């Protein structure tokens, strides 16, 4: 195994690639092991394994079931990744249902907010199409705004308009997400641990406290290799993983055309030099191979 990417999104949530497209791109990028971590959705975890045999037989390929939950509580915001779960065991599906319902509620509220606050109107058929998606989110609304001339790009749409709508108590709680992942035999991992709410950067003792707080709920790993991390942030997260004997994962957070990040951008340059926490994770989590 030479190259891995365990954090990617498809059209099932807020990416732009279909499941078929992302499998092909994974192989073209020379990635040997990947995971699709769509928001509040385990569709890829059920549909991708049967698709692996039709992938290029001359290229090695392994898959880990994944999911990502956007969580919030009184202490802050967290993105919780779940790996290697059994999608047919209740627990994970219950949290997926909760997350999806909250996502739909926020999407409808954001569309109404844009209309009332800024006078942004969209054709009814566009709104129906948006709400019929698996898991509509902010990028989908942003792209609709661009289409009708209300914003020039996704960043402007989100920062200037969409993110002005704030929500209270409309989030999955971190302890519930972690519990659901564990109940289904999965491994809960804190995504990009140094990133909090918005542009917040969490470092030092605050990051240590954040990790310990989630460990009390059952978090078992941290995403230490991440496309947006500086060497300093990466080093600090790796130190915490070693300090608390946590698993380590590596992910790009690829979203296709909705972000400039490319798959494989994990800042993990050589898998042979991976820390013990990552090799232990790859040894303990279920990897689904082509054959």
Question: Cβ-count burial of 256 within 10 angstroms (0-12 exposed, 13-18 middle, 19+ buried)?
Answer: buried
Per residue in 83-142, pLDDT (tens digit) is 999 999 989 999 999 998 998 999 999 999 999 999 999 999 999 999 988 888 888 999
Instruction: Give the Å distances, CA to CA, from 239 to 232, 243, 246, 260, 281.
Output: 11, 6, 10, 28, 16
Instruction: Give the Å distances, CA to CA, from 174 to 83, 87, 165, 214, 248.
Output: 15, 19, 22, 8, 19
| Better pLDDT: 14 or 65 | 65
Query: Residue 75 corresponds to which tokens in the numbers above?
Result: 């202490």
Across 69-83, average pLDDT = 94
| Better pLDDT: 163 or 198 | 163
pLDDT of residue 169: 78
pLDDT of residue 289: 86
pLDDT of residue 190: 98
Across 144-172, average pLDDT = 92
| Look-up of token digits 């971590």 | 37
Number of other residues whose CB lies within 10 A of the CB of residue 218: 15
User: How far, in Å, CA of 186 to CA of 284, rounded?
Assistant: 10
Per residue in 237-258, pLDDT (tens digit) is 999 999 999 999 999 999 998 8
pLDDT tier at 291, thresholds 50, 70, 90: low
User: How far, in Å, CA of 142 to CA of 28, rounded?
Assistant: 29
Domain ranges of the chain: 4-96+172-289, 110-164
Query: Rounded mean pLDDT of the chain?
Result: 93
Across 17-45, average pLDDT = 95
Percent share of the chain, pLDDT over 90: 82
Per residue in 231-240, pLDDT (tens digit) is 999 999 999 9
Q: Is the pLDDT of residue 55 over 60?
A: yes
- 4-96+172-289 homologous superfamily: Metal-dependent hydrolases (3.20.20.140)
With beta carbons less than 8 A apart as the criterion, state whether 12 and 135 touch. Answer: yes
User: How far, in Å, CA of 35 to CA of 144, rounded?
Assistant: 28
């Amino acid at each position: 195994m030479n190259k891995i990417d365990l954090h990617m999104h498809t059209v099932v949530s807020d990416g732009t690639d279909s499941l078929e497209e992302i499998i092909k791109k994974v192989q073209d990028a020379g990635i040997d092991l990947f995971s699709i971590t769509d928001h509040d959705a385990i569709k890829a975890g059920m549909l991708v394994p049967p698709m692996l045999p039709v992938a290029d037989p001359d290229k090695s390929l392994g898959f880990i079931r994944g999911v990502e939950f956007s969580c919030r509580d009184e202490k802050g915001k967290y993105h919780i990744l779940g790996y290697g779960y059994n999608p047919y065991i209740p627990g994970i599906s219950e949290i997926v249902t909760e997350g999806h319902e909250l996502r739909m509620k926020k999407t409808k509220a954001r569309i109404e907010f844009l209309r009332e606050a800024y006078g942004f109107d969209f054709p009814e058929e566009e709104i129906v199409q948006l709400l019929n998606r698996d898991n509509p989110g902010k990028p989908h609304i942003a792209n609709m705004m661009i289409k009708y001339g209300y914003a020039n790009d996704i960043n402007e749409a989100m920062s200037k308009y969409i993110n002005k709508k704030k929500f209270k108590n409309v989030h999955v709680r971190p302890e519930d997400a972690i519990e659901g992942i564990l109940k289904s035999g999965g491994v809960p991992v804190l995504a990009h641990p140094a990133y909090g709410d918005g542009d917040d950067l969490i470092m030092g003792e605050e990051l240590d406290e954040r990790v310990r707080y989630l460990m009390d709920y059952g978090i078992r790993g941290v995403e230490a290799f991440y496309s947006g991390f500086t060497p300093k942030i990466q080093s600090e997260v790796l130190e915490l993983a070693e300090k608390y004997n946590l698993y380590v994962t590596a992910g790009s957070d690829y979203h296709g055309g909705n972000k400039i990040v490319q798959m494989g951008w994990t800042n993990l340059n050589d898998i042979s030099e991976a820390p013990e926490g990552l090799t232990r994770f790859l040894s303990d989590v279920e990897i689904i191979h082509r054959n």
